[in-house]
Amino acid sequence: MGINTTTPQAVVDVNGDVALRKALIVPSTTTPGNLDSGTVDQVLVSGGSGQPPSWKSVRIPFMENTQYKLVNTYLKNDQSGITTLSDGVAPSTPAVSAIGEDFSASWIKITNLTTNIQVRSSENKVTYQLQSGVELVNKSVGIGASVNFICGIFKDTKLVALRPDGITTVDATPVQGIYTLNYTEDNVSVGLHVFDVACRKISSSDVANNYFRIGVNIPSYGPAPIVTNNKSNAFALRSLFKVDVAELVTYTN
């Protein structure tokens, strides 16, 4: 039967709008011979040529126009950390950094956190989340210590996010801390990008004697007798770097 057409191509062929006032019912896929009207928030999915459709539950949320949808997540972790900003290494200058500055030799990368991402839409939000353990102890027994440092995220060798922090001890016992950095960048250019995590030391109370590490523990310290550090390990102080890419949802007629 054709409605508004003289050449129907199905048992019922409607050439125009269809107003459905009550349930849309299809054969049940769980109870043969029964009919199924679906449940709230289910969608009707095609069964292919010659097969009846069926109701399915969608496990992803429906997105409204102008909302941002998460399209990709990148996650890296590392237990090697940074060991080359420790005793005997002078702080780098200047004491401040600025967004947009180039990567330089004063920065030390956490190599295993280097991440390659792809951005496909020009309207996006890219969120960076960095967490790393830090540890500090002074060689001299009974003497406290302090170190200030900066960690940052570089996109294609340009600094896009940073936060300074510090750690202090009051005696010769190793002290641990957690460094975090969270930042969202709007409308990153379309294409492939390389992200690096790097840190630098900007001050130290005792350059010669402060043991200091980022993202990994200090296994032992001295000078004599050499003390085994049982306060932490590489796993507990490991670094985690997560990048979320969300794109703007737009619907066009």
Phi, psi of 128 (to 5 degrees): -110, 135
CB-side exposure of 206: number of CA atoms within 13 Å? Answer: 17
pLDDT digits (tens, 9 = 90+) for 233-243: 999 999 999 99
pLDDT digits (tens, 9 = 90+) for 215-227: 999 998 877 788 8
Q: Please, what are the domains in the chain?
A: 1-59 (no CATH), 68-248 (2.60.120.1340)
So what's the pLDDT on residue 178? 97
Q: Tell me, rounded to whole angstroms, the distance of Cα 67 from its chain centroid.
A: 19
So what's the pLDDT on residue 65? 62
pLDDT tier, 20 (very low <50, low <70, confident <90, very high otherwise): confident
pLDDT tier, 250 (very low <50, low <70, confident <90, very high otherwise): confident
So what's the pLDDT on residue 59? 66
Looking at per-residue confidence, does 240 or 8 come out higher?
240
So what's the pLDDT on residue 101? 96
Q: Which of 94, 113, 114 is nearest to 104 (CA)?
A: 94
For residues 22 and 8, what is the distance between their CA atoms, to the nearest angstrom? 25
Percent of the chain at pLDDT > 90 equals 58
Phi, psi of 112 (to 5 degrees): -70, -5
So what's the pLDDT on residue 27? 82
So what's the pLDDT on residue 252? 60
pLDDT digits (tens, 9 = 90+) for 81-140: 999 999 899 999 999 999 999 999 999 999 999 999 999 999 999 999 999 999 999 887
Alpha-carbon separation of residue 10 from 4, 28, 50 (angstroms): 13, 22, 12
The residues facing 186 across adjacent strands are: 125
So what's the pLDDT on residue 32? 78
Looking at per-residue confidence, does 57 or 151 come out higher?
151
So what's the pLDDT on residue 62? 57
Residue by residue, DSSP assigns the chain as: -EES-SS-SSSSEE-S-----S---EE-SSSTT-EE---TTEEEE---TTS--EEEE-SSPPPPTT-EEEEEEEEEEESS-B-TTSTTPPPPSSS---TTPBP-TTSEE-GGG-EEEEE--SSEEEEEEEEEEEEEEESSTT--EEEEEEEEEEETTEEEEEEEEEEEESSSS-EEEEEEEEEEEESPPSEEEEEEEEEEEEEES-TTTEEEEESS---EE-SSS-EE--S--TTTT-EEEEEEEEEE-----
For residues 139 and 224, what is the distance between their CA atoms, to the nearest angstrom? 9
